[in-house]
Structure 1
Amino acid sequence: MDLLGTALGATLYSPATRPRLASDIRKQQAAGVVSMVLCLEDSISDAEVPGAEENLVRQLGRLEREDPADQPPLLFIRVRTPEQITDLTSRLGTAVRLLAGFVLPKFTAAAGPAFLEALTGAEVMSGRRLLAMPILESPELLHLESRAEHLTAAARVLDKYRERIPAVRLGVTDFCSAYGLRRTPDMTAYDVHLVASVIADVVNVFGRADGTGYTVSGPVWEYFRAQERMFKPQLRRSPFSGRAEGLRESLIEHNMDGLLQEIELDQANGLMGKTCIHPSHVAPVHALSVVSHEEFSDAADILRTGPHGGGVLRSAYTNKMNEVKPHRAWAERTIRRAEVFGVARDGVDFVDLLATGMEGEGE
């Protein structure tokens, strides 16, 4: 399940109201999207829900009929209520085979069991295994006086469903909403200290490397068009100089420099993949998920010593120490990422990966 959680990559959200949803799914699959969430929750109004459900059932049925042998991206439905899980499973009929599972909103120890029990019922009904991705976004998970208690309680609820949880997702927009906050395109989630603190606590509870943890996905980046900025761009000029200066200007123009910095901070803070609301965000997430040759070299050296090895190794790049026991969990995680996204050749850096990845990005 850890490998699947890593493989989700940039998970693209789409409102279930889109009239050409089946075509959109095919288009994004061709553009490299690995996982999608078809949303019946916050992306649509309350009044749109019945129509969105009908559209979702119709579009997935069309997708199955037009190419019954095709395997689309991993498709998840983000529901509002537990009852929608069994209801939609029934209404989808044979098209349920296209579903990987469901996204469970506002997951807490109190609300979560009903969703997970409905998932079990849907599995029995459909005769197939279904996955669940809970979203941590409720105020009680954010408020200081209740955070630790509610996070640990939610983790206990998930524990018996571990083999059905590829990732735990973060609802940072809802966390900001609880305090009337919204980060600008000049800022990452980690610049909003209230949000950064809850991300740290979520990783502390759900992201442990001792076998009890889950893949925790990165928060959504909200911006995809040029915005007036107050601060300097966050991309240095020198890595792009002489080979990809136009790419740098394009990234800055569309506020991608903030996204790139947030992806790097996600990874540094133990998060993997990202929630995306625009196709242009997918290529940067995947490009920066590729393991560098240096990372791979260090990880392979650490793991080569075996599980009972120890000591300190000089990196093959002669620029750091690799302490075998403390760095082992990092090395295992890095090799898992390499299995999914590959390893860059020696001398290939993030600019090369971005330039290649963004050549075919979707609109």
Structure 2
Amino acid sequence: MRHFAYLTDDERGRLFAVPPGDITAGSPRAMLALALGATLYSPGTRPALDADAVRSAAAGATSTVWCLEDAIPHAAVGEAEANVVAALQRLDHRVAEGDPAPLPLVFVRVRTPDQIRSISLAAGPALARLTGFSLPKATAGSLGPMLEAIAEVGEASGVPLYGMPILETPDLAWRETRTAALGALAEVVAAHREIVLCLRVGGTDLSGLFGLRRDRDTTIWDVAVVRDCLADVVNRFTRGGEHVVTGAVWEHIPGPRLFKPQLRQSPFTEQHEGRLRQRMIAGDLDGLIREVSLDKANGVLGKTVIHPAHVSVVNALLTVSRSEYDDALEILTARGRGGVTVSGHGRMNEIGPHALWAELISRRAAVYGVVADEAALVELLSAGQRRLAEVLAGGEVRRA
């Protein structure tokens, strides 16, 4: 699979200075974690999860999670498990029949280690269509058995599987217990390093512990108690670029607004895309753009989303700008020599302090590509919305 695969060759050549790279389930762990991008959630009770996955991939999604936890009633767990297994088997049949339609990386959000084992056993050969499991409410005590079950199933089946712990529990939310909780989690993650794909943060659960919920005009980084927790998670797990931390779910669909829009007019009017800007504002996508920008500024890459309209926006914002890429190349070329240079984009490049930043930029560029300029980014956003409209015209893409 490849990000923005719906672009024509001509569009890709015009919009990208460096095109997005190809990703497979067998790609290196660090690259695969970056490639998740906007992860689209579906309740495990959805009647056609496999068809939803195909349509979401057609609209640009590279990862999806089928939820057996908070998104479904407790009484529906058995039904949802059977539904997930049947969907995996239908996906496997598509592949066996040579269906060329791209598929996203599929994960199942589970409740217990036994659920990992039972789903894997029931899926049989169709387990090959699964990339891993999303592990909610991860603590040091609960995470170890979950990851051990994933390792056990992967070894028995020969299917490499990953775990994605979701950090969202009270011991992380409360300041007095957070440091110890993060330290204990880090030990468990280190012990299972090769099968931990990334760490996700549960912004909704963390906010809920304080009786808070951000509105469409407020980013998760404006909610102080949650921001402090996210900052400590990033501090603990992204040192040296070791792990990818992905962002809190964007849980809004269009609704009433209070504050001014957050999108500048000039990049859109210069490309004669004023109507695109208005549509994005009407769809609350300007708030999403603001939150993803703050995610990136704080070292958080990727995001859980609940609507397909969000997918292309998140993924477009994860592309690398030409100025970032040029500076990163200059820094990486001079690595080992030290010193300071003035970039052609009006910034000071300190070779030592900026070396890790440059390395991380080069990794992201290999996955999402380098857009030619700001105008190309606007056109990429427009192309994503057009593609979604085309997919919707052929049948509705799922809503959570």
TM bucket by the smaller chain?
over 0.9
Deviation at 1:125, TM superposition (A): 2.8
Moved over 3 A (4+): 346-350
> 1:203 & 1:132 partners in 2: Cα distance?
18
Deviates more, 1:194-203 or 1:25-34: 25-34
CA contact (8 A) 1:107 1:137 kept: yes
Number of residue pairs matched by the alignment: 358
Q: Which moved more, 1:199-208 or 1:24-33?
A: 24-33
- Matching residue of 1:327: 354
Contact residue 267 and residue 375 of structure 2 kept, 8 A: no
CA root-mean-square deviation: 1.4
Match of 1:20 in 2: 48
Q: Which digits, 9 at most, give the CA deviation of each residue in 1:89-133, with x for residues without a partner?
A: 000011001011111111111111111111122113312211110
Matched residue SS, 1:217:
strand
Q: Which residue number in structure 2 is paired with residue 6 of structure 1? A: 34
CA offsets, 1:185-230, max 9 Å, x none?
Answer: 0000011111111110000001112x5x3100011111122x1111
The code of the aligned residue for 2:341 comes to L
In the alignment, what sits opposite 2:157? 126
Aligned-partner Cα distance in 1 for 2:231–2:94: 45
- Percent of aligned positions that are identical: 46
Contact 2:312 2:384 in 1 (8 A): yes
Separation (CA, whole Å) in 1 of partners of 2:161 and 2:174: 32
2:363 maps to 1:300: no
CA change 1:86–1:347 in 2 (3 A) is closer
Q: Deviations over 1:60-111 (max 9, x none)?
A: 1122123325562111111011110011100001100101111111111111
Deviation string, structure 1 residues 232-276 (Cα, Å, up to 9, x no partner)? 111122222251111111111111111000010000000111111
CA distance in 1, matches of 2:333, 2:344: 13
User: Residue type matched to 1:222 in 2?
Assistant: E
* Residues in 2 aligned to 1:7 and 1:309: alpha-carbon distance in whole angstroms: 32
Please list every run of 5 or more consecutive structure 1 residues that lacks an aligned counterpart in the other structure.
none
In structure 1, the residue matched to 2:233 is 202
User: Equivalent residue of 2:341, what SS?
Assistant: strand
Q: What one-letter code is carried by the residue in structure 1 that aligns with 2:352?
A: K
* TM-score normalised by L of structure 1: 0.95
List per-residue Cα deviations over 1:290-311 (Å, max 9, x = no partner): 11111111111110113x1211
Match of 1:348 in 2: 375
TM superposition shift of 1:351: 2.1
Question: What CA distance in whole angstroms lies between the structure 1 residues aligned with 2:153 and 2:248?
Answer: 28
Q: Could you say which residue in structure 1 is the equivalent of 2:74?
A: 46
Give 2:24's aligned residue: none
Deviation sequence 1:284-331 (CA, Å, 0-9, x none): 01111111111111111110113x1211111112x1111111111111
Give the structure-2-normalised TM-score: 0.87
Which runs of no fewer than 5 residues in structure 2 stay unpaired?
A: 1-28, 392-396
User: Does the CA contact (< 8 Å) of 1:291 and 1:342 recur in 2?
Assistant: yes
Displacement of 1:339: 0.3
